[in-house]
Amino acid sequence: MIKVYVSPTCSSCRKVKQWFNEQHIPFEEKNIFKSELNDSELKEILEKSENGTDDIIATKSKIMKEQNVDLDSMTISQMIQFVRDNPSVLRRPIVVDDRHIQVGYDADEMTTFIPRAKKFIEINCSDDVCETLKKSN
């Protein structure tokens, strides 16, 4: 299942949700301010990000500056607790599935979340018969 971590005022978050809805791809929305992120979710996000905290933490955010946070000196447990206490430091949206992570909205990169069956149909079908299949997936 695809998880989309969002905040209510984020325009990129709205674009990501709209894209998934237009593609008829189910996803689970998680508002980072209404439901606390658990350790396993944050570890999964970290494990899948190519550049670790650089990809997911907004280092220029107000909290990071005010608290003079040095992520490099933190253990993973400390960093996870810091993010749980301060979810606004996360870049948004964060989209995660079983293999991929995407931070932010980029329409071209979103195609990695299209299920393989749907990609196969789009690549191999071109006549009217396949249009019906495309709509049903």
Q: What is the pLDDT of residue 24?
A: 86
Q: What is the pLDDT of residue 127?
A: 58
Among 10, 13, 125, 130, which one carries the catalytic annotation? Answer: 10
Q: Please give the chain's pLDDT, 137 residues, in tens.
A: 899 999 999 999 999 999 999 988 899 999 999 988 999 999 999 999 988 888 999 988 899 989 888 988 999 999 999 999 999 999 999 999 988 899 999 999 998 888 765 665 566 666 555 555 555 55
- CB burial readout 103-122, b (16+ within 10 A) else e: bbbeeeebeebeeeebeebe
Catalytic, 125? Answer: no
| Predicted TM-score (pTM) above 0.85 | no
The residue extents of the domains of the chain are 2-136
Question: Considering the domain 2-136 in this protein, what is its CATH number?
Answer: 3.40.30.10
